[in-house]
Amino acid sequence: MEQENLVEIRNLYLNFYTYDGVVNALDGVELDIKKDEILGLVGETGCGKSVTSLATLAMVISPGMIQSGQIEFDLGKEKLDLLNIKERDRLKIRGKQVAMIFQEPRAALNPVYTVGDQIAEVYYHHRKEELTKAAISEAEKDVKNAKGFKRSIYKRELSLLEKMLKNPKSLTVRFASKIPILKRFQNRIKLVVRKDTVELLRLLRIPDPQRVIDMYPHELSSGMAQRVVIAIALTCNPTLLIADEPTTNLDVTVQMQILHLIKELKGKLGSSILYVTHDLGVVAELCERVAVMYAGNVVEVADVMAFFKNPLHPYSQALLESIPRPGQKFVSIPGTVPSLVNPPIGCRFYDRCRYALEKCPKVKPELVETEKGHMVACHLYHEG
Amino acid sequence: MKSKGRFSEFKKGMQPTIKELKFTLKKIRQSPLSLIGMSLVSFFIVIAVLAPVLAPPKMADPFLIPYGEEYVTIPEPPSQLHPFGTTTGKIDLYYGCIWGTIYAFRLGIIVIAAILLIGVTLGLIAGYYGGLIDEVIMRFTDIILAFPGLILVMALIVALSQAINPFTGQTWTKIDAAILGIMLVGWPGYTRLIRGEVLRVKTEDYIEASRASGSSDLRIMTKHILPNAIYPIIIVASLDLGTMVLFAAALSFLGLGAPPRYADWGQLINQAGNWVSYGLQYWWTFVFPGLFITLFCLGWNLLGDAFRDILDPLYRRK
């Protein structure tokens, strides 16, 4: 069954302005992420994997700048071009629609806040209305059951919460949330958040979530920290989860656990996952489709089975051959990645390619579908 | 029953905080210097709080030191009536030293608060946004840092004393001018310091992670960068609280701070200037105010060191 695209990246050009010159980090990247799939993005270090994944959030690390291109995001009701909307609207999409898991889990957590605080921050930011409603229903229950003085306190809390739901920026609410004793009406929301956070941590198979929620990042093992980072990403049930080498820094057993977790969560939440990695083993294990990047270009997109059976692009072939196997000589790809400061005009893989044709250094190959669902950017497969 | 349950829950929730607090207290107990610093500062706080009892004010403005009916030039030695003796014009040194403490705290706290506000805001903005904004702010701080601080403050005070104070509608009083002058000259160091810290913290992964989860610039700056960048600033601020008082005293000594008969240690030392040349004959005129200034600055310095040991996570666990 052909699935719809969730994200369509078209012609994305991104440059880094460094002292050495302009680095053409992304050179017309084309990538589709389908709904409800795990797409593996493979490539060697520095080929633009991470930059592409960040660009999917319309985020660029300084001194980079997106030159041109389109990143269309299907929100169900409407399609948004992330590069053409205001920053304020992007903030609503980041974390809510698209969430990210980072490579170094401990560095991705702020050392001065507890795990619970960091998860709660995302809750507050994106789901305030929902939380307020939950808190109101709790408060209504208390008003019904309580008597006398307590009842009047609960009533006051309720009225403040209702005001907050109606207009979170109203003066009374803002005033009340700054005054120490009046501030307590927010405790209900905090309790709701805490309950949800514990649930979430439990979903991620974190042992003893009641205790972990009050821990600081340095008290966690890296596997645990990665789960917390995943928890932060999952707070708002994102439609797209970007995982930027989430298991690279973990040891193999923990890596396995995290991979299983991701696979399982995907089944539960039904979101698409963009899995960035350089580990083809992980791709084979986890992904449904795979996209190969080389020096700022997507050179091949295929289903996982098709890719491992019949890789088309010479780079993909070389990549698969260079997986070390016992008893065999270690094979590597000859040559080095071209400098991206003044990249070759034609195919960027040309000088390392064993099948190089005459027009390879002159004309840049485009990504063309050769078989159904199998796209490749190489002159070998282009007619004429 | 229910309230008891809530309390135990609260107690349980506070446990990590209490644990940390206990550790902090242990750290303080272990270092005698920080204990001395703390006791000095608390000693001055007690003096400031009890000032109306220790030295009941006799004038409408309690900061004006009461003086004798007739003008007596020669200082009187410590006596029952004047425990610290008197200085030129029969000014009571005891009263001056006690109320000078309040003035020192007031000046130090106002100045440091303002400097923190200006310095931290500008430093955060400069470090976070970088580029042209950074360039403009930092070059401006460079300009201010290029002048010798004391000279610039003196120039500012002289200029301000000719200008109209928008709050009172009259020309600036000497004291207000001195406070404003020190504020305007003191902030660049803080801006530099926090900018450096922001540049370091800004590149951390968790900042990017926070942005990826939809935080706005303001939120990232205040919630994620500031708490990770503020420790050195707190330490420097606590060190500077003493230094600023010393600075103000220097201004008063030069005749640009508080007016004569005002309860300011620097002013008292200024009065004592005439009597230093007599050696120890009139020792009380400079020993008592000098002692107050020295101990006050020493207290804050030691406290600042203690803060560093306590707050800086790198030193904390050593």
Residue B2 has pLDDT above 60, yes or no: no
- Tokens for B96? 């001056």
pLDDT for res B68:
67
Residues of A in Cβ contact (< 8 Å) with B132 = none
Question: What gap in Å lies between CA B142 and CA B136, rounded to an integer?
Answer: 10
Question: What gap in Å lies between CA A355 and CA A366, rounded to an integer?
Answer: 17
Mean pLDDT within A199-222: 87
Cβ-defined contact of A104 to B13 (cutoff 8 Å): no
**Domains in chain A, please, with CATH?**
1-110+226-384 (3.40.50.300), 115-200 (no CATH)
Highest mean pLDDT among A167-181, A243-257, A284-298, B17-31: A284-298
Residue B48 has pLDDT above 60, yes or no: yes
Cβ-defined contact of A57 to B130 (cutoff 8 Å): no
Residue B16 has its nearest CB partner, among A59, A107, A214, at: A214
Whether A1 contacts chain B with CB within 8 A: no
Question: What gap in Å lies between CA A45 and CA B234, rounded to an integer?
Answer: 41
pLDDT for res B127:
93
- The 10s digit of each residue's pLDDT in A155-166 is 777 787 777 777
- The 10s digit of each residue's pLDDT in A29-70 is 888 888 888 999 998 887 888 888 888 888 887 788 888 888
Is omega for the bond preceding B232 within 30 degrees of 0, making it cis?
no
- The 10s digit of each residue's pLDDT in A223-261 is 888 889 988 888 888 888 898 888 877 888 888 888 888
Q: Provide the shortest C-alpha distance from residue B230 to chain A (in Å).
A: 11
Residue in chain A nearest B225 by alpha carbon:
A110
Give residues with Cβ within 8 angstroms of A140, minimum separation 6: A158
Q: Tell me the Ramachandran region of residue B134: left when phi exceeds 0, alpha when psi lies from -120 to 50, beta otherwise.
A: alpha
Look up the pTM and report it. Answer: 0.80
Cβ-defined contact of B206 to A108 (cutoff 8 Å): yes
Cβ-count burial of B312 within 10 angstroms (0-12 exposed, 13-18 middle, 19+ buried)? middle
- The 10s digit of each residue's pLDDT in A121-143 is 888 888 777 788 888 888 888 77
Cβ-defined contact of B130 to A107 (cutoff 8 Å): no
Q: How far is CA B275 from CA A334, A340, B78, B253, in A?
A: 88, 77, 15, 14
Give residue B28's identity as a one-letter amino acid code: I
* Helices vs. strands in chain B: H and E counts, helices first: 13, 2
Question: What gap in Å lies between CA A190 and CA A121, rounded to an integer?
Answer: 11
Residues of B in Cβ contact (< 8 Å) with A61 = 208
CATH architecture of residue range(s) B25-316: Orthogonal Bundle (1.10)
Whether A362 contacts chain B with CB within 8 A: no
How many other CB atoms are found less than 10 A from the CB of residue A275?
26
Residue B113 has pLDDT above 90, yes or no: yes
Residues of A in Cβ contact (< 8 Å) with B215 = 91, 95, 121, 125
Residue A96 has its nearest CB partner, among B211, B214, B228, at: B214
Whether A171 contacts chain B with CB within 8 A: no
pLDDT for res A357:
83
Which candidate in B14, B206, B215, B234 is best for mutational testing of the A interface (most A CBs within 10 A)?
B206
Cβ-defined contact of B214 to A122 (cutoff 8 Å): yes
Residue A74 has pLDDT above 60, yes or no: yes
Cβ-count burial of A171 within 10 angstroms (0-12 exposed, 13-18 middle, 19+ buried)? exposed
Residue B296 has pLDDT above 80, yes or no: yes
Residue B224 has its nearest CB partner, among A95, A110, A229, at: A110
Residue in chain B nearest A92 by alpha carbon:
B214
Given a contact cutoff of 8 angstroms between Cβ atoms, the answer to whether A120 and A201 are in contact is no
Cβ-defined contact of B212 to A125 (cutoff 8 Å): no
- The 10s digit of each residue's pLDDT in B65-77 is 777 677 777 787 8
Rg of chain B over all Cα atoms, to the nearest angstrom: 24
Q: Nearest CA to A201 among A227, A220, A223? A: A227
Angle of helix B131-146 versus helix B174-202 axis, rounded to 10? 140
The helix (H) or strand (E) run that includes residue B42 is helix B32-54
- The 10s digit of each residue's pLDDT in B76-100 is 788 887 888 878 777 888 888 888 8
How many other CB atoms are found less than 10 A from the CB of residue A138?
18
Q: How far is CA A208 from CA A198, A204, A369, A375, B160, in A?
A: 9, 11, 50, 46, 63
pLDDT for res B299:
92
- The 10s digit of each residue's pLDDT in B192-230 is 999 999 999 988 888 988 888 888 888 899 889 998 888
- The 10s digit of each residue's pLDDT in A355-371 is 888 888 888 888 888 88
Question: What mean pLDDT, rounded, does chain A reach?
Answer: 84
Interface of B with A (CB under 8 A): 13, 16, 130, 204-206, 208-216, 219, 223-224, 227-228, 313
- Tokens for B40? 């000095």
pLDDT for res B135:
94
How much of chain A exceeds pLDDT 90, in percent? 5
Residue B214 has its nearest CB partner, among A102, A103, A126, at: A126
Which candidate in A61, A87, A112 is best for mutational testing of the B interface (most B CBs within 10 A)?
A112
pLDDT for res B192:
93
Compare A382 and A84 and report the one with higher pLDDT: A84
Cβ-defined contact of A125 to B214 (cutoff 8 Å): yes
For A68-137, the DSSP string reads: EEEEEEE-SS-EEEGGGS-HHHHHHHBTTTEEEE-SSTTTTS-TTS-HHHHHHHHHHHHHHHHHHHHHHH
Total count of residues recorded for chain A: 384
Compare A352 and A147 and report the one with higher pLDDT: A352
pLDDT for res B314:
61
Whether A276 contacts chain B with CB within 8 A: no
pLDDT for res B190:
93
CA angle B217, A188, A177 (to 5 degrees): 50
Grade residue B313 by pLDDT with cuts at 50, 70 and 90.
Answer: low
Phi and psi torsions of A79, nearest 5°? -105, 135
Which candidate in B2, B17, B213, B231 is best for mutational testing of the A interface (most A CBs within 10 A)?
B213
Mean pLDDT within B108-135: 93
